[in-house]
A = this chain, B = another copy of it.
Amino acid sequence: MSNTTREKILSTARTQVQAHGYDGLNFRDLAATIGIRAPSLYHHFPSKAALGAAVARRYCEDVQAALDAISQEHDTPRACLLAYPGIFRKALDGDNRICLASFLSAQSDDVPEEVQTEIREFININVTWLAGKLSQLEPETIAMRRADAIYAAVAGAQLTARGLGGLPRYDGIIASYRAVGLLPA
């Protein structure tokens, strides 16, 4: 059911975004890969912004799915929080190495509103999940703030490691977070 032209555009665009970011999304190349011409894309997506937003929405669905998977695999909230950094680690590791950080990083003016909305959604999905786990361990008010802090710290670790040091550095930073008690050890 995923063989429609629209679906092919989406998955190819995703690959292109992963490799070169939102700005690297190229309509002529994208169309050529699929076997159509650039103007044809506008029959499926009204603009590059809309296509970018659709790709970002995919990312949101993916994190949500990954978070749900963690929730099901692990019994205790503590075990879930232990597994959490693995999501960003995998994104840093594999071909999906961009996660949403590249979108995030693009500044407000560059990225169109539709895409920004999805970025916000991505943050909210993460923080909401974290707060849900944390609220089983500590008072609700603290849990909310702590969820924010954990997401920011892990996202920052991914960003820093991409800039310099790669996976080993990411692991080191996460270990430090655990040593200090920001994350359960």
Contact residue range for chain A? Answer: 35 or more
Nearest CB to that of A98 among chain B residues?
Answer: B107
Known contacts A156-B154, A172-B145: does B177 contact A20 (CB below 8 Å)? no
Nearest CB to that of A19 among chain B residues?
Answer: B109
Instruction: Select one of B105, B106, B173 contacting A152, CB under 8 A.
Output: B173
Question: What is the CB-to-nearest-CB distance from A23 to chain B, in angstroms, rounded to a whole number?
Answer: 5
In the complex, A1 has a CB within 8 A of chain B: no
Known contacts A104-B105, A159-B155: does B176 contact A145 (CB below 8 Å)? yes
How many chain copies?
2
Contact B21 A163, beta carbon cutoff 8 Å: no
Within 8 A of B (CB), among A122-154: 123-124, 145-146, 148-149, 151-154
Known contacts A145-B172, A149-B176, A152-B159: does B109 contact A106 (CB below 8 Å)? no
Question: What is the CB-to-nearest-CB distance from A128 to chain B, in angstroms, rounded to a whole number?
Answer: 12
Known contacts A107-B21, A110-B24: does B160 contact A151 (CB below 8 Å)? yes
Instruction: Select one of B106, B107, B110, B177 contacting A182, CB under 8 A.
Output: B177
In the complex, A175 has a CB within 8 A of chain B: yes
Nearest CB to that of A177 among chain B residues?
Answer: B149
List 17 other contacts, CB 8 Å, given A120-B164, A149-B180: A20-B107, A21-B106, A98-B107, A104-B105, A104-B159, A105-B106, A119-B164, A123-B160, A146-B176, A148-B173, A149-B153, A151-B160, A152-B161, A153-B153, A159-B159, A180-B180, A180-B182
**A→B interface (CB under 8 Å):** 19-21, 23-24, 98, 101-102, 104-110, 116, 119-120, 123-124, 145-146, 148-149, 151-157, 159-164, 169, 172-173, 175-177, 179-182
